[in-house]
Structure 1
Amino acid sequence: LGQVHGQLPQDNDFFKFFAPRMPRQREYKSTALGSGVIVNSRKGYVITNNHVVDDMDEITVRLLDKTEYKATVVGRDPKSDIAVLQIDARGLTDLDFGNSDKLRVGEWVIAVGSPFSANLSHTVTAGIVSAKGRGNIIQGDVYEDFIQTDAAINPGNSGGALLNSAGDLIGINTAIYTNSFDRSNKGVGFAIPSNMVKQVMADLIQHGKVLRSWIGVQIQPLNDSSARAMGLKSPDGALVSDVVKDGPAKKAGLKTGDVIIEFNHVQVKNVDHLRNTVSASKPNKRYDLIVIRDGRKKTLKVTLEEMPGDDALATVSRPPAQTNELGIQVSSLSQSVIREYDISKGEEGVIVIAVVEGSIAAEAGIRIGDLITRVGTKKCNSPRGFAALIKETQKKNMVMLHMKRDGVARYMTLELDD
């Protein structure tokens, strides 16, 4: 896949002085390279990565026989990094989808793409499946359930095919692990599973967008220490740190401090697993949800709803929008949180459960486990109340927090950016 986008020189006095004769509307063209897979020969559908075609003015698809076709974008989904293109061509050959759920670690796989340059198009490399279900690889609000492989994947391979030994499409290559200085392959590549690709593609073709469900909770991962503190046998599952008002979870009776261990008869492995499973489920349908509450199993019935837009509050696994200004995430003092952070009996407030690196809070020295009892002189006893007080004080570009750490109380003043 080749793309072209235009850029205009900066329109300022410095530019005009040193280039007075240059036309003001001169366009500079640059190209980028990616890979793709024909998945429907009759309709000319091509799958690639969203980041390959994002913000491009023109897209050209070059086939193995070097014929080229202009492509149109049928739909894009940044959250899964999948895009569907269409070309008007005859005599195409497509790939069959394989079942990525049946893929096993150690199985041989083949990666196809155009690493580094168009001169290396349709390069084939081989390797094995190193791991499945990889998450927390790409920063941002994306749905991750990556297949990890040691097959050589390099810049330009994005959007290309990952095949099993039978030649079936079991993934779309999307990312490689590198350091800051070297973008070449290090034997750690990632592909989007074909089952996720197939579902996203179907929605983009039929609806022009991906229909996702949501449960209406903030969730965080469990580690070994938090699992032991809550009396759990393993850190599998997802800890509910907040429940969205009037959301599906609230209506189902879910509470802060619950640990979700099973959804729709499927055991929850981690936060990403629950997030992907919920989003792929049909909205307006009732599902069984099993949680651990105060050491006991409890079965709830939850009716999922279609996920609101990006500006809606508290989508699954995203830090609360109301705390983004400070860079912290807080939780109510449920029994499980009190045990995990060893909070003294009778304390009131909210507990800091996450601090964004480089944020205002991090630079001020706020840590996970700090207890915030007041914003200014007003008490706060819930994440929602804390967010409201923060919003109220933001008008002064300054927030004063009353905090407790290791039994020592003090006020901390944070200056906000204008």
Structure 2
Amino acid sequence: MLSVSTGCESRQRESNPPPPAAVSEAPAPAPDATRPVEQGAQPARPLPQEEQATGGSGQLVSVADLVEAVKGSVVNVDVRVRSPGLQDHGDLFERFFGMPGFPGEGGPAPRERIQQGAGSGFLIEPNGLILTNNHVVENAFSIRVRLDDGREYDAKVLGRDPLTDLALIKLQGNVKDLPFVRLGDSDEVRVGDPVVAIGNPFGLTSSVSSGILSARARDIQAGPYDNFLQTDAAINPGNSGGPLFNARGEVIGINTAIVGVGTGIGFAVPSNMAQVLLPQLQKGKIRRGWLGVSVQDLTPELARALKVQQDKGAIVTGVEENTPSARAGLQQDDIITAVNGEPVESAHALTREIGFRSPDETVKLTVYRAGQPREVRVKLAERPDLEGSSTEPSGDEREESGRRLGMRLQDVDPRLVPGATRGALIIEVEPGSPAERAGLQPGMVIVEAGGRPVNNPREFAQAVRGQSPGSVLLLRVQLGESRLLRALTIPEER
């Protein structure tokens, strides 16, 4: 497996590796052929075929006009994220359960540490809509965006999708008539075509690199919908969320990950994937189709053993009860070879094809059973949060619950809390608050509320919202290797 890291710059460490997830289911242009983007609601003008920055040999000659036309749309994204600090200011990844003075039975509380990070993004609308990576803005309490001309704005997250590492943010204030670029057709770009990356690697704003598209449809084990474009255009920490342009000045990828640092191998989310998700990102919630099956690739050897002529497809290895697949009559060892007549070449391709369809949509599957083809119609359901990466409820709701109780929470990071893999980590408790009166302290992990497991701060916020003012919510918390009970009185609404 490749050792892949994101291209997001952290000022406390060089890069933040993404959590691995197993897959479940032309002539040279004339001197003034292009112009810089002017202020006004006009996108960077796609270069006509005769003006593309390519020579007669098809090799990239100059990207100067292209860069001048689009660079005003590329932005720097600075974020701040809260992390619990160590009493002795030790390294973030140092063990601090069991350390002398760790909060608990009389020990002092750790000081909060603010992590700063930087990434890139690009404007897709003149009113300040920006596409970037989820890992750039995830858990950020402050987002500051700097434009190429030096102007700065605060921004807020409209929607995030951890499974494709995409996020949509919007500039705050009276924002209009900003330069922006259009998303191109990533299916049209061919291996060997020239590409240009613009971003802010290592804080070096508006850095440009060029290369070619090296490969398509790469699965780097970053998520269930991996379909990355691979490029040799230089991508480094800080490039995350920046655009990958074709020779017409259209965005055909969102730069996301690299193999090591300085290896010359980078990966970008295809623009067509972002195009499909944009309406949902604007609404703040991603809904995906779901079959409810486990699948694996059909290989030529398995095809012979199953006595079918096809050698590409997805073999059903399990059917979950009370799911669309079970209701449609799919069975173990069925081979799915097409969706609505479009061929399915692998289990990963099936997962991606279904996942980008709407829940409640009915699809026609071409299925081979005992060597005989048949058509099966399935009404899809909404995919559950199998990875525990849901962004619902919103961060504002989580923060409101925390302020109401007088504490701040964040997801558990096993590197910070050895022995804990789930729960809501308390990072700050306000003196005199309901949380303090309940005996809650920074460093504790809430793992149960009202008798129900708590996997993250979102689930804790849901548990709190279900309580009436004045009621007492029984919490189970983890502190080091100990499990303790706490009684939290729910206050009146502020």
- In structure 2, give the amino acid aligned to 1:286: T
What TM-score comes out, normalization by structure 1 length?
0.66
Tell me: higher relative CO, structure 1 or 2? Use CA pairs within 8 A at least 6 residues apart. 2
Calculate percent identity across the aligned residue pairs. Answer: 39
DSSP 3-state at the match of 1:276: helix
Question: Measured at CA, do residues 306 and 235 of structure 1 come closer, stay the same or move farther in structure 2, by a change above 3 Å?
Answer: same
Cα distance in 1 between the residues matched to 2:170 and 2:161: 15
Cα distance in 1 between the residues matched to 2:168 and 2:100: 40
Query: What residue number does 1:60 align with?
Result: 144
Report the CA distance between 1:306 and its aligned residue.
1.9
Q: Are residues 1:73 and 2:157 paired?
A: yes
Residue correspondence of structure 1 range 169-188 to structure 2 within 5 A: 169-177=251-259, 183-188=260-265
Query: What residue number does 1:195 align with?
Result: 272
Q: Are residues 1:146 and 2:223 paired?
A: no
Cα distance in 1 between the residues matched to 2:207 and 2:303: 46
1:256 aligns with one of 329, 332, 336:
332
1:29 aligns with one of 101, 111, 114:
114
What TM-score comes out, normalization by structure 2 length?
0.56
User: What does the per-residue CA deviation read over 1:294-314, in whole Å, with 9 as the maximum and x for residues that have no partner?
Assistant: 2222211111122233389xx
Q: Are residues 1:95 and 2:171 paired?
A: no
Conservation of the 8 A alpha-carbon contact between 1:212 and 1:279: yes
Question: Measured at CA, do residues 306 and 24 of structure 1 come closer, stay the same or move farther in structure 2, by a change above 3 Å?
Answer: closer
Report the CA distance between 1:285 and its aligned residue.
2.5
Cα distance in 2 between the residues matched to 1:189 and 1:28: 31
- In structure 2, give the amino acid aligned to 1:110: V
Report the CA distance between 1:79 and its aligned residue.
0.9
Residue correspondence of structure 1 range 374-389 to structure 2 within 5 A: none
User: What does the per-residue CA deviation read over 1:87-114, in whole Å, with 9 as the maximum and x for residues that have no partner?
Assistant: 0333311111111122222211111111
Cα distance in 2 between the residues matched to 1:16 and 1:255: 57
Query: What residue number does 1:166 align with?
Result: 248
Cα distance in 2 between the residues matched to 1:128 and 1:233: 37
2:190 aligns with one of 104, 109, 112:
104
Cα distance in 2 between the residues matched to 1:220 and 1:4: 41
Report the CA distance between 1:218 and its aligned residue.
0.6
Cα distance in 1 between the residues matched to 2:253 and 2:335: 31
Cα distance in 1 between the residues matched to 2:116 and 2:387: 33
- In structure 2, give the amino acid aligned to 1:70: D
Tell me the matched-pair count.
296
2:318 aligns with one of 239, 242, 251:
242
Question: Measured at CA, do residues 28 and 108 of structure 1 come closer, stay the same or move farther in structure 2, by a change above 3 Å?
Answer: same
Question: Measured at CA, do residues 233 and 90 of structure 1 come closer, stay the same or move farther in structure 2, by a change above 3 Å?
Answer: same
DSSP 3-state at the match of 1:3: strand
Structure 2: unaligned runs, 5 residues or longer: 1-76, 88-95, 103-107, 389-494
Cα distance in 2 between the residues matched to 1:101 and 1:167: 16
Report the CA distance between 1:234 and its aligned residue.
5.2
Conservation of the 8 A alpha-carbon contact between 1:78 and 1:142: no
Cα distance in 1 between the residues matched to 2:110 and 2:151: 33
Q: CA RMSD in A?
A: 2.3
Query: What residue number does 1:374 align with?
Result: none
Query: What residue number does 1:228 align with?
Result: 304
Conservation of the 8 A alpha-carbon contact between 1:145 and 1:272: no
- In structure 1, give the amino acid aligned to 2:290: W
Conservation of the 8 A alpha-carbon contact between 1:47 and 1:84: yes
Cα distance in 2 between the residues matched to 1:304 and 1:159: 31
Report the CA distance between 1:228 and its aligned residue.
3.0
Query: What residue number does 1:376 align with?
Result: none
Question: Measured at CA, do residues 258 and 175 of structure 1 come closer, stay the same or move farther in structure 2, by a change above 3 Å?
Answer: same
1:280 aligns with one of 339, 356, 369:
356
Conservation of the 8 A alpha-carbon contact between 1:5 and 1:31: yes
Report the CA distance between 1:24 and its aligned residue.
5.8
Report the CA distance between 1:16 and its aligned residue.
5.3
Report the CA distance between 1:38 and its aligned residue.
0.8
DSSP 3-state at the match of 1:35: strand
Cα distance in 2 between the residues matched to 1:311 and 1:196: 20
Cα distance in 2 between the residues matched to 1:245 and 1:45: 42
Cα distance in 1 between the residues matched to 2:310 and 2:263: 32
Conservation of the 8 A alpha-carbon contact between 2:224 and 2:351: no
Query: What residue number does 1:204 align with?
Result: 281
Residue correspondence of structure 1 range 324-339 to structure 2 within 5 A: none
